Structure 1
Amino acid sequence: MKIIVTGSEGFIGKALCRELRNRGVDVVGIDRVCGTEAADIWHILAGGGIDAVIHLAAQTSVFNDDREQILNDNILTFISVADACTAYGVRLVYASSSTANPCNTTSMYGISKHFDEQYASIYCKNAIGVRLHNVYGPNPRKGTLLNILMNSEEVTLYNGGLNTRCFTYIDDAVEGLICAIVCKEKLINVVNPQVCTVKEFAEEVSKHNGVKLKCVGEKREFDNPYQDVNVTLFCPLLNYTPFSKGITKVFDYAEESEER
């Protein structure tokens, strides 16, 4: 197979491209940091020979208040990618988010992902959306909870650390995206069914690096105390990694990298 991956240099994109290549797939990576934009797929698809597009490129933070940036990168670019796949009859797999579930939407980011799901359902019949839930793993993105926990001496946990999440390990997210290529659904969940609090997750990290945790009652704007999982959506039956095991993998990887 030959597959285009947008956002190929991102946290999930790198892991996905590596796994696809390990499986013998010819991967065409597109990423802004390499000087290519997701909208460039029009030119690539015009040449033929592409079996699928996996669209990951996007602004990814619920705390990003640059609405114009999110409009451009998450909505207008998505429309261009979806229209290109429709025009050339190419399968589209796109990354959605737990925040696209209306009861979880607290920000422009969530709004953009919900829009993408609605647009694809009407205008891109050969598309499947993958709702990813709190993906973490080695070399976490800057600004994410795990990155902060791994690079700070003390971390403040808001709402008493009681916000609940379904932390999904990167390998499981990658496997779910690959499964979606041949899935007949229009929208699926890829989510670790193990629900835990942010405090429980942080305490597990602290066991490895001793980071100090400070719980405060204050709640942050755009933060959601509880993320609902739409159980009516199909969820691939993967061997989802418990968060304690996933965190151990993260630190094992970090130690191996230092040794190399």
Structure 2
Amino acid sequence: MLPPRAQDLVDRYTQRMDQRSPGSLQGLYLVGSLALDDFHDEVSDVDFIAVVDDPDPELLREVHQGLDKLDGQYVTFDDLRTSPAKLSGGYYQLDGRLSLGNEGRSPVEWTTLAKYGVTLRGPRPAELNVHADPDELREWVRGNANTYWRQHLDDPADLAYAVGIAWVVLGISRLHYSMVTGDITSKSGAAKHAVQAFPEHRAIIEEALRHRTTRLGEGGPPDPDRQAAGFAYLQAAITSCC
């Protein structure tokens, strides 16, 4: 059983796909917070991987119309058996927009699907022989920590805000967990890991977890002490990942 909002989005999505392109949706899997048992109804996205051969972008735009916070990507079964690093771009839906590129095609999604994916249609992940390589995951973590997350050291303004500290602290904590274990965890699971791995930063990690469900625009004014603590933790976690 899925949470009501997730179930409603999935039902409307599959109905539209089946009505407008019968038989094209060969597989549908949930990843992200739903797969990792960390879904928060008011703020979490419903993240999917859909198996569709040669998807029609205009049809996909019609299907996704009005399905807010339903984000995911379109792949083939062969794609899932292949290292994401060897794949060309594909269609993906993110923040209400359909695009073409490599967003979401990483060892994070492939590992999540292989080990925790929720099957809504098609063979179960264990039958798909999904390419999930812990060494590739760790290599991806190093690159992501040194690019996307390091930019917050160069411009730490977001770390002063509740939403920003939750995003950055929990995000880099998930990467550190993957580097240590070769596995995937949720944001909440990452916080528990980080408290053990970086006990000197416990206060800012626990604050980030408290703001896990804070919405943009909530959480009060910028806090310079929060910013400084977040910066120090981010720097330590990136150094440890790399």
TM-score by length of 2: 0.29
Which structure's residues are more often strand, by fraction?
1
TM-score by length of 1: 0.28
Which structure's residues are more often helix, by fraction?
2
